[in-house]
Amino acid sequence: MRNSPHRISRYGPVLPLALLLAGCAPSQGFTGADAYTPPSGSPSSSPSATAFLAIGTCAAHDRVGTGGSFHQVSCGDPAAVAKVTVRRATGSAANPDCPDTTDFVLSVSGTSAAQASASPDAQGYACLRDLRPPHPGDPGMGGGPNTIVGDCVYTEGPDEAEETACSGTGKHPPGYKVIAIVSARADCPPATSLYVGVQHHKVGCARKL
């Protein structure tokens, strides 16, 4: 059944990513990829099982061939394209707390401020995994909201990098590959030639290709 009182929009990779060339000056802080972590014990951080786009429910495009507007459907519906793996009633889809191989994120909001205030389950975001391959969130595929081990990036200016497909089939050829994600730059392996700020305030260690 269509859930008309809600507006949802799709978010792709959380980019650009903050980066530093190995041996350069310390970073002033990560930008673009810092993940949102719901407050511990917050009653609105985990929606109820009946919330719009609750965990385990599925989504379909509003119109065939469109990529930015979705509605909730049964996972057995032929139109279903992705399943919700995590649902947050607070936080931003631009900085989501999603599983590593999430394919995309949907931002959910009520049709009005009054409705959103009265129904916390009518806002927040949902992390989704496509029902069928290819999965942009998988390692090296060049998409998804997270940067994970096996992903490739290319440099975009002196202080930014963006994710791209390791296969070279994306708009930009890959320049570096993430070989580890650690808590601090000092923990990166010797082969590291680029440090990338990733989700959860961690560091992606990337080697030059």
Query: Would you say 147 and 114 are in contact if contact means Cβ atoms under 8 Å apart?
Result: no
CA–CA gap between residue 188 and residue 182 (Å, rounded): 7
Predicted confidence at residue 25, as pLDDT, reads 26
Pick from 192, 127, 122, 181: which is nearest to 149 by CA?
181
- Judging by DSSP bridges, how do beta strands 160-164 and 152-155 pair with one another? antiparallel
Predicted structure pTM score:
0.72
The answer to whether 124 and 116 have CB atoms below 8 angstroms apart is no
pLDDT on residue 62 = 81
C-alpha angle 175/178/183, rounded to 5°? Answer: 135
pLDDT of residue 51: 72
Token pair of 9, please?
């929009």
Instruction: Give strand pairing partners of 207.
Output: 177
Query: What pLDDT is attached to residue 50?
Result: 64
Tens digit of pLDDT at every position of the chain (209 positions): 333 333 343 443 333 333 333 333 222 222 222 222 233 333 345 556 667 888 999 999 886 554 567 888 999 999 999 999 999 988 888 889 999 999 999 888 754 444 444 454 567 899 999 999 999 999 999 999 999 999 999 998 777 889 999 999 989 999 999 999 999 999 999 999 999 999 888 999 999 99
Structure-block tokens of residue 108: 């959910």
Question: What integer pLDDT is reported at residue 107 of this predicted model?
Answer: 87
DSSP state of 118: H
Residue among 26, 72, 58 nearest 132 (CA): 58
Distance from the first to the final alpha carbon of the chain: 48
Q: Is 61 helix (H, G, I), strand (E, B) or coil?
A: strand
- Separation between Cα atoms, residue 195 and residue 201, nearest integer Å: 12
Alpha-carbon span 95 to 20, nearest angstrom? 21
As to burial, measured by CB atoms within 10 angstroms (0-12 exposed, 13-18 middle, 19+ buried), residue 163 is buried
Determine the pLDDT at residue 47.
59
| pLDDT for 208 | 96
- Sequence-distant (6+) residues with CB within 8 A of 191 are 179, 207
- Where do the H-state alpha helices sit in the chain? 113-118
